[in-house]
Chain A
Amino acid sequence: MSVLVPTSLVDALQALAEHPDATVLAGGTDLMVELNGGHRRASSVVVVNRVPELCTWRHDPVSRTLRLGAGVTYAQIERDPIASLVPGLAEAARTVGSPQIRHAATIGGNVGTCSPAGDGLPVLSALNAEVELVSAEGVRSVPFSSFMVGPKRTLRGPGELISAITVPVVDGWQGYAKVGVRNAMVIATASAAVVADSRRGTVAIALGSVGPTILRCPEAEAHAMEHADFGERRLAPEVVSHCCELVRLASRPIDDHRSTAAYRRHAVGVLAGRLLRRAFPNE
């Protein structure tokens, strides 16, 4: 086993080029659980949490985007100044593990692991986030929706590193909700994110833990958009109810050790309804 601790992006990419099969370690909160439990062996590990280029973030008010370096932690995201730029992502960040976990866990690690239960992922999906991948060959950008191809399966190739996640800074309400067996320190049994973009007049709904990837709900989104009054933040109760039904139909949950498909399907509709009522509090 080898452990490499590069302290610049150039060195990190060189390490990955030399060890294309290397496991990338950022905060360690996913990988170390597997190593400690003996569920995974790693022949080489490239530790990227000391790469300064990955740990910065930038708000561009002209393009109205926020570029989060892959090494930005959930502790940073849950606080200002990032929190007020992406309140939905901050809300998701607040539900990740404990303070100890959030001090270590990174947005890039969440996207790299790409578990359907990853708390940040429904928000990134609803925001149409872009994932930036860098390798010795160059840089490419992939929409999050195509980056995640299955449970813990992504488009990241050998030698590639997730360098940043870029999201739009949206006018309007955005939020995240999840259910689990208790309030603290819990992996989502079902989760949902809603982004209501009042400038563009769009509603985005994304679901976590109810399918092999994060799922968007085009029918529910279209129904909400057709009837929503963005200025008055108004949406009729029967429209919300129908959206919940469309969300349940869009979900593709399974039975596993954490819950049942039937419960997940029910719960994700409840969550989406709750979020829509927060986005549009007036009937």
Chain B
Amino acid sequence: MSEPSNLVYTLHVNGHASDVRDAWLGESLLYVLRERLGLMGSKGACEQGECGSCSVLVDGELVCSCLVLAAGAVGQQIITIEGVAPAGAPSDVQQAFVDAGAVQCGFCTPGLIMATHSLLERSPEPTEYEIREELSGNICRCTGYGRIIEAVQRVAVARRGAQ
């Protein structure tokens, strides 16, 4: 059994061990990512799991990082938007969002990118219904979702062609 001390615990974020210092043990993973580890890609809006803008992968599962107790995520593999592709080289999903015009203000985009990576991992050729369902936990207030769905479909088509 591991008992994180009040001074420091270590999270595994994007393949690296990251020491968390001087943290209150009740902090959410979202707060720790942004305020303790300087990873500003995950966005915080509702802090109650409604908007999806803080979505990350924890041990491969798409979750809202605002609803994960950071000190309880010790030993789990955490992937954030910063970890989906090397810096300066967008992932295919990120590029498709740009190409399809699926980004307006951009606030919801990191969460939607994470949700799209998670969806296409499980279901490489999703139907439109499936895309709408799987992205239903991510709220976008700008685009009306049409171009977001188009972006997801573009990735699915491109990946099929690349096989």
Q: A residues engaging B (CB < 8 A)? A: 1-7, 11, 15, 25, 27-29, 31-33, 35-37, 41-42, 45, 47, 49-50, 75, 97-101, 103-104, 184-185
Q: Is the interface of B mostly helix, strand, loop or mixed?
A: loop
Total interface residues on B, CB under 8 Å, equals 34
B4 touches A100 (CB 8 A): no
B137 touches A98 (CB 8 A): yes
> A83 to chain B: closest CB distance in Å?
15
B69 touches A45 (CB 8 A): yes
Most buried by B among A28, A36, A41, A100: A100
A75 CA / B133 CA spacing, docked (Å): 13
Shortest Cβ distance from B70 into A: residue: A3
A31 CA / B72 CA spacing, docked (Å): 13
- Quick one: which of B49, B55, B71, B133 contacts A33, CB cutoff 8 A? B49
A104 CA / B29 CA spacing, docked (Å): 14
> B103 to chain A: closest CB distance in Å?
20
Q: B residues engaging A (CB < 8 A)? A: 1-4, 6, 24-26, 28, 47-50, 52, 55, 61-64, 66-69, 71-72, 74-76, 115, 133-134, 136-138
From known contacts A98-B49, A185-B137, infer whether A103 and B61 are also in contact, taking CB-CB under 8 Å. yes
B49 touches A100 (CB 8 A): yes
Q: Is the interface of A mostly helix, strand, loop or mixed?
A: mixed
Residues in A whose Cβ lies below 8 Å from that of B137? 97-101, 185
> A125 to chain B: closest CB distance in Å?
25
Shortest Cβ distance from A32 into B: residue: B67
From known contacts A3-B71, A28-B72, infer whether A97 and B49 are also in contact, taking CB-CB under 8 Å. yes
- Quick one: which of B6, B28, B62 contacts A100, CB cutoff 8 A? B62
From known contacts A1-B26, A28-B69, infer whether A100 and B2 are also in contact, taking CB-CB under 8 Å. no
A99 touches B115 (CB 8 A): yes
B48 touches A1 (CB 8 A): no
From known contacts A32-B28, A32-B67, A33-B49, infer whether A5 and B136 are also in contact, taking CB-CB under 8 Å. no
Q: What are the 6 tightest A-B residue pairs by CB atom distance, in nearest-first order?
A: A98-B137, A47-B72, A3-B71, A32-B67, A103-B61, A36-B47
